[in-house]
Amino acid sequence: MGELDGKVAVVTGAGRGLGRSHALELARQGARVVVNDLGVAADGSGRDESAGQNVVDEIKSAGGEAVAHFGDVADWDQSKSMITKAVETYGDFNILVSNAGFCRDRMIFSMEEDQFDSVLRVHLKGHFCGIRHASEYFRNKGKAEGEVYGRILSTASEAAFFCDPGQPNYSAAKAGIIATTNAAAIALQKYGVTANTFMPRARTDMTMVGQTAQFFEKPEDGFDTFHPDNVSPLVSWLASPGASNVSGNVFIVWGTQITVMEPPTHGLDLDNGEKWDIESVGAKLGKFFEGKEAVKDSFIPPSIF
Ligand SMILES: NC(=O)c1ccc[n+]([C@@H]2O[C@H](COP(=O)([O-])OP(=O)(O)OC[C@H]3O[C@@H](n4cnc5c(N)ncnc54)[C@H](O)[C@@H]3O)[C@@H](O)[C@H]2O)c1
């Protein structure tokens, strides 16, 4: 008996890397899985359906149930068809793990419009489309039947907080994913549907590039800290009945670590008692920032990725 027996999951970008690990883990826990993957390279180029099909075959040969979906997560209709495929194949839909994406890194002063648009599209719009269609299904079912089992899981990145100067597009998309997911958490609360965001670290095609690759390398012996499988148990737990009261949260997860992020809070609060003018702002805020070093003493901690 698994924690997710009878549940139906859609995992996007599940042909390799983290998505593959999530799909296999959810299937191990008893979920029937729609394995979505477009089969593109880590920079979004090309197309190869064999990756997604291989994961379906792997799940089936381990005794699980899975079906492939080769659509683009950021295409409105193709995204909707992931949910439809789950319902038509397995009679229901319960868990959305949005994970698909690619990177096109450049410093802000060199980034081209298409590098910004394409990365925002695949991550932020890709999450939005899936969450939008999943939410509609959950809401309709909740209204019709009074009860619905629904879980939305989104993949952000620590880049959303600890902005990488080489990833202004990716960091923006990942920050937006938190906002979109939390909007769903609030909107669907009354139906008992939860929505959470996690920020993984793992050795995948996405991270085995350039200097970043060294950070994620597999150790010669001992625990493989950055194996993608280390991330998936959090995903399956958040998808499980045991996490029914966990929603609107952000987690960092890698290796043996899970961190629950605190929501942003107000820092200095100033009330001028009357309309501000440039002198009063300067007098009060200028005093607060006196002696601080620009950027270093801001809320941007040193970059990890
Ligand atoms: N690996 C890390 O350390 C790390 C860190 C932070 C966040 N993430 C996030 O985790 C997620 C998975 O990344 P990964 O490291 O496993 O990368 P990966 O490159 O190994 O896998 C990404 C998968 O997404 C698929 N994909 C890309 N565009 C798609 C589209 N439009 N429609 C459907 N499928 C599409 C690709 O074919 C690929 O199989 C991404 O959202 C990434 O931003 C990864």
Instruction: Single out the catalytic residue among 157, 232, 240, 247.
Output: 157
- From residue 253, give the alpha-carbon distance in Å to each of 137, 209, 226, 272, 294: 29, 21, 10, 42, 30
Distance 129 CA to ligand 1 centre (A): 16
| Spacing, Cα 17 to ligand 1 middle (Å) | 7
Is the beta carbon of 16 within 6 A of some atom in ligand 1?
Answer: yes
Q: What is the DSSP secondary-structure string of 8-73? A: EEEETTTTSHHHHHHHHHHHHTT-EEEEE-----TTS----THHHHHHHHHHHHTT--EEEE---T
Does the pLDDT of residue 164 top 60, yes or no? yes
Question: CA-to-CA distance for 281 and 258, rounded, in angstroms?
Answer: 40
Q: 35 CB contacts (<8 Å, ≥6 apart)? A: 11, 14, 15, 23, 52, 55, 56, 59, 66, 67, 68, 69
Q: Cα–Cα distance between 271 and 253 in angstroms, integer? A: 39
- Say what the pLDDT of residue 183 is: 98
Which of 10, 21, 37, 129 to mutate to test ligand 1, by most ligand atoms within 8 A of the CB atom? 37
Q: Is 21 a catalytic residue?
A: no
Compute the distance from residue 64 Cα to the ligand 1 centre, in Å: 23
Average pLDDT over residues 250-273: 95
Does position 25 have pLDDT exceeding 60, yes or no?
Answer: yes
CA 154 to ligand 1 centroid distance, Å: 12
Domain ranges of the chain: 8-260
- The tens digit of pLDDT for each residue in 80-116 reads 999 999 999 999 999 999 999 999 999 999 999 999 9
**Among this protein's residues, is 232 annotated catalytic?**
no
In angstroms, the CA 142 to CA 21 distance is 30
157 part of the active site: yes
Confidence (pLDDT) at 305: 47
Decide whether any atom of ligand 1 lies within 6 Å of the 103 Cβ: no
Order across the sheet with 194-200: list the strands.
Answer: 66-69, 32-36, 8-11, 95-98, 151-155, 194-200, 250-254, 257-260
Q: What pLDDT is recorded for position 6? A: 95
The protein residue with its alpha carbon nearest to ligand 1, atom 25, reads 13
Indicate whether 147 pLDDT > 50.
yes
Question: Ranked by mean pLDDT, which of 13-22, 155-164, 260-269 comes out on top?
Answer: 13-22
- Band of residue 304 on the pLDDT scale cut at 50, 70, 90: low
pLDDT at 50 over 70: yes
Task: Give the tens place of pLDDT for each residue, 110-142.
Answer: 999 999 999 999 999 999 999 999 999 999 999
Pocket test for ligand 1, best of 24, 72, 102, 212 (most atoms within 8 A of CB): 102
Q: For ligand 1, is residue 105 a contact (CB within 6 Å)?
A: no
Decide if 292 contacts 300 (C-beta within 8 A): no
**Regarding the domain delimited by 8-260, which CATH topology (the fold level of the hierarchy) does it fall under?**
Rossmann fold (3.40.50)
